[in-house]
Structure 1
Amino acid sequence: MPRIDAARQRGTIAGRIWTHTSRIAIALGLTSILLGPSAASPPANRSLEAWQAEWTQVLQGHVDAKGRVDFSGLAGDRTGLEDVVKLVAAVDPVSTPALFPTVEARLAYYIDAYNALAMYGVLDAGVPEQFGWLGRLRFFYLRKFVVGGRSISLYSLENDIIRPMGDPRVHFALNCMSVSCPRLPRTAFTPGGLDRELDAAAREFVGEDRNVHVDREARMVTLSAIFDFYTKDFLAKAPSLIDYVNQYRANLVPRDYKVMFADYDWTINDRSRVGHGAP
């Protein structure tokens, strides 16, 4: 998710890889992720489809239609999320490339992995009220997870792996569990449907007034800070931010409008704190 200066984890993975992953986890103080009750069954024995189904089950059980997370309920029912994170720790497109034969398979996996790790990280941190500057430093830079047997931060996962894949629509899909993030979906992203799913996420994001607010009297458009954080990515696909936004909007923003950016709300998107409502 946004950088801190903006205000601002072959064949069957077992044996050697699993032992190596566990040692990394122990060194990082992540035994709660890898060494839970179900650790006796190496997670890579599960198919990626089964993993996506598990992640979808977590999302549908603890995320409402507005994308708010029931962290209180999740704290009392951690097994599903922990199982999702265990597979991320053991398997990824680098450690097991045969499982990810397409760009779509790799990108869908990394998006889902990022979101699952962010959810786990917030829960593991005790669900703070918000990410202050120091909190963002700890959460995105210093907090390490295991992805495919390697230690990595969320910052590096996003900026060194996901963003270089060259699809700026990921910024409408990656979710660090803050209020200003895109809506967290209730289903996993999938290799076969990824292009359609990212298009839908883009249309939803730019269709929300909080993300693209048009003031026709002032001839100005106020964009989500995400467009400020990642301007370079969007301009690689369009001549201007307005041109990029207009690709996904029914009501076009005039190209000569002045562009401003909204402040980013780092409040944790905890359903019990940011509002109640039935899914």
Structure 2
Amino acid sequence: MKYLIILLALITLSSCSGAKRITENMPIKDKQVDSVKTDEIIHQKTDTITLQKKKTEEEKKEDLEKIKSTKTFNHSTWNTLLQKHVSNKGHVNYKTFKSDRNELVNYITYLGKQTPQDSWAKEAKLAYWINAYNAMTIDLILRYYPVKSIKDIKKPWEQRFWKLGEKWYNLNEIEHQILRKMGEPRIHFAIVCASFSCPKLQNNAYTASSINKQLTNATKEFLNDPERNTISENTLGLSKIFQWFAKDFKQTGTLTDFLNQYSDITISDKAKKNFKDYNWDLNE
């Protein structure tokens, strides 16, 4: 009986010890599980923060693009002057324009206070420099008017009468160092050197929002004007603009390739070309 009691006591102690060990092990396992869950939560939060950061950077880029696309210049003063003194056919009434020269000078001064920045969209830069070139050309003529031709003025394209920002510009610099370097050949039908054989001066200012349509229309209008170009399938009598700036029109193909984008007549690749004499008489 004594031995039986001792045996029962030993069994009880052993059971309690096993239960204790199990109980002691349980928190450790739970801690390991909690640790894994914590790591997962930390990774999830880190991933979320990374995604939010990327999203923020993308949003910043999008905002910058929006700023670029909306940044523009108010050319309404120039537009009003063109409507008042330039006919639908592009003839300029320099006599009446001279009475509004102060308004023209004010517009050029305004151009000088807001020169294009790197953040401006290409369309806004094109509109700015095309309008600047044309306004300065008109101002150049008015300084010497009456004249029969821009060529009656000594070195007309080298005169530095106009300050934009901190720099004095001439027409040559705007055309060759700025506009032509923008890779847009249609500018040659938008900038006007006050001469009969030039493209006509449009009586609307160029704007960033409409520039592509305006350039296309000006190109088509000039190319299909029989007084400036004579076009048939196999024979071309072209303005010397296409000879002087041939490189600009061959950026993505041949000259014929360029012409066929805007011509009313499909021109053969084998068409014979000649270039017409240029009439420098004033465009009035």
Q: TM-score if structure 1 supplies the norm length?
A: 0.72
Q: SS at the partner of 1:68?
A: coil
Amino acid aligned to 2:120: P
In the TM superposition, what is the alpha-carbon distance from 1:142 to its structure 2 partner?
3.5
Q: SS at the partner of 1:66?
A: coil
1:243 maps onto 2:257 in alignment: yes
* Partner in structure 1 of residue 206 of structure 2: 189
Q: TM-score if structure 2 supplies the norm length?
A: 0.71
- CA deviation string 1:87-112 (max 9, x = no partner): 1233211xxx27x6201111111001
1:144·1:154 contact (CA, 8 Å) conserved in 2?
no
* Partner in structure 1 of residue 283 of structure 2: 269
* Partner in structure 2 of residue 41 of structure 1: none
1:123 maps onto 2:113 in alignment: no
Amino acid aligned to 1:138: K
1:149 maps onto 2:166 in alignment: yes
1:233 maps onto 2:256 in alignment: no
> Can you give the 5+ residue segments of structure 2 that lack an aligned partner in the other structure?
1-70
2:129·2:179 contact (CA, 8 Å) conserved in 1?
yes
> C-alpha root-mean-square deviation of aligned residues, in Å?
1.9
* Partner in structure 1 of residue 239 of structure 2: 224
> Can you give the 5+ residue segments of structure 1 that lack an aligned partner in the other structure?
1-46, 271-279
Structure showing greater radius of gyration is 2
1:90·1:149 contact (CA, 8 Å) conserved in 2?
no
Measured in 2, the distance between the counterparts of 1:148 and 1:224 equals: 35
1:210·1:224 contact (CA, 8 Å) conserved in 2?
no
Amino acid aligned to 2:220: R
For these two proteins, the number of residue pairs brought into alignment is: 214
* Partner in structure 1 of residue 99 of structure 2: 76
Measured in 1, the distance between the counterparts of 2:133 and 2:239 equals: 21
* 1:174 maps to which of 166, 191, 203: 191
Amino acid aligned to 2:84: G
* Partner in structure 2 of residue 104 of structure 1: 123
Amino acid aligned to 2:75: Q
Q: Relative CO higher for 1 or 2, CA cutoff 8 Å, sep ≥ 6?
A: 1
Deviating beyond 6 angstroms after TM superposition, the runs of 4 or more aligned structure 1 residues are: none
Measured in 2, the distance between the counterparts of 1:83 and 1:143 equals: 17
What is the percentage of aligned positions where both structures have the same residue?
31
In the TM superposition, what is the alpha-carbon distance from 1:265 to its structure 2 partner?
1.0
Measured in 2, the distance between the counterparts of 1:64 and 1:261 equals: 27
* Partner in structure 2 of residue 164 of structure 1: 181
